[in-house]
Chain A
């Protein structure tokens, strides 16, 4: 299966995001009962963001050196717009679900977050929001790959 420059870049970004943030969220959500004073705060997160930026820069620089003639045209821009729209809707719906859930935690609408101490803290809420942002980005990458493969 032949992949274009854009597709290879998207696959690389997708793999980096899944591996780096996947391991981070696994670690965070696996320790749900840890009290806030025992949590690492956001120090690890800043390190992860820097790691992602460095890895992306290295891989995209390598790909650019292999495909020096590739430019961005109207099809690329259309695919980006359509994919950003998909991830935007995912993010909006996710934030509304989170908001309604938190406003109605007392009545236990969908999930009983009271069992999960982390979600009731600012640390937990920030990580849930961060998870939504990362998932929205993953959806952006996957839908771009889909449109490049299946057409628009």
Chain B
């Protein structure tokens, strides 16, 4: 899945997806859950803390 398609499905810009991937932005819970739901995996598999 391309960054643009993921961004469109989540409702954010491609720049925000890039920033999340590079660990330059911590998304809101809403966006984090949307990303996890799109990949059909638990939240903890996509994001971790610490």
Chain A positions near chain B (C-beta within 8 angstroms): 4, 6, 69-76, 148, 150-152
Contacts and interface: CB of A to CB of B under 8 A. Distances in A.
Contacts of B15: 4, 6, 75, 148
A6 B16 CA distance: 12
Q: Chain B contact residues (Cβ within 8 angstroms of A): what range?
A: 10 to 19
A151 B27 CA distance: 12
Contact of A70 (B11, B13, B19, B23): B13
Contact of B23 (A74, A75, A148, A151): A151
Interface of B: 4, 11-13, 15-16, 19, 22-25, 27-28, 31
Contacts of A72: 13
B13 A150 contact: no
Contacts of B12: 71, 73-75
Contact of B24 (A6, A70, A76, A152): A152
A75 B19 contact: yes
Contacts of A71: 11-13
Nearest to B22: A151
Question: Which of B12, B15, B16, B23: most chain A Cβ within 10 A?
Answer: B15
Contacts of B4: 69
